[in-house]
Amino acid sequence: MAKLYFYYASMNAGKSTVLLQASFNYRERGMHTMLFTAAIDDRAGGGVIASRIGLSAPAEVFRPETDLFGAVAGAHAVKTLNCVLVDEAQFLSKDQVWQLARVADDLGIPVLCYGLRTDFLGNLFPGSSTLLALADTLSELKAVCACGRKATMNLRIDGQGQPVASGQQTEIGGNDRYVALCRRHFAAALTGQEGNGQ
């Protein structure tokens, strides 16, 4: 029975790397995968999933209006798909998560979603919230805070490296805009009690 998986972590945990490795494993065995990434995240160029260690692969992009079930079903009718992999899954809508659940349930194709659990204020993203509720399997990937503890939070920083405690939930960026921290150092940074990760 195909399942819906959610692999979540803070920034810099290697989510995209793990996704690309999983896709490679299927393809190496002659199987077909379909990759998706959020249109809003074009840091590596539109329609590209790229990891910080230099791996990349082309992907379909999803937007808020994208019907993921329809897209997968259409591709599956042309060429049998063995797995669907979604990067930046925090940007999925609630409806899109349900569509991916249908891909697993109705089409029998495993769906592996990779994304952030929470935003820069510690609040769940809509896509992550729905995945936490619906996924058959939840797996946390580990990142490391500067103190050596597990990093679970994403601190947004400004151009001078100072913590940002307000703003829109979504602001695309990498190491120039976010720092992965343990909960203790995240809270301390937001309240100005200590420096990032010290």
Residues catalogued as catalytic: 88
Exposure pattern of 161-186 as b/e (b: 16+ CB <10 Å)?
Answer: eebbeeeeeeeeeeeebbbbbbeebb
DSSP 93-131: -HHHHHHHHHHHHHH---EEEEEESB-TTSPBPHHHHHH
Give buried/exposed letters for 132-148 (b at 16+ CB in 10 A, else e): eeebeeeeeeebbbeee
**Residue positions counted in the chain:** 198
Q: How far apart, in whole angstroms, are the C-alpha atoms of residue 18 and residue 122?
A: 24
H or E segment to which residue 135 belongs: none
Find the distance separating the first CA and the last CA of the chain, reported in whole Å. Answer: 46
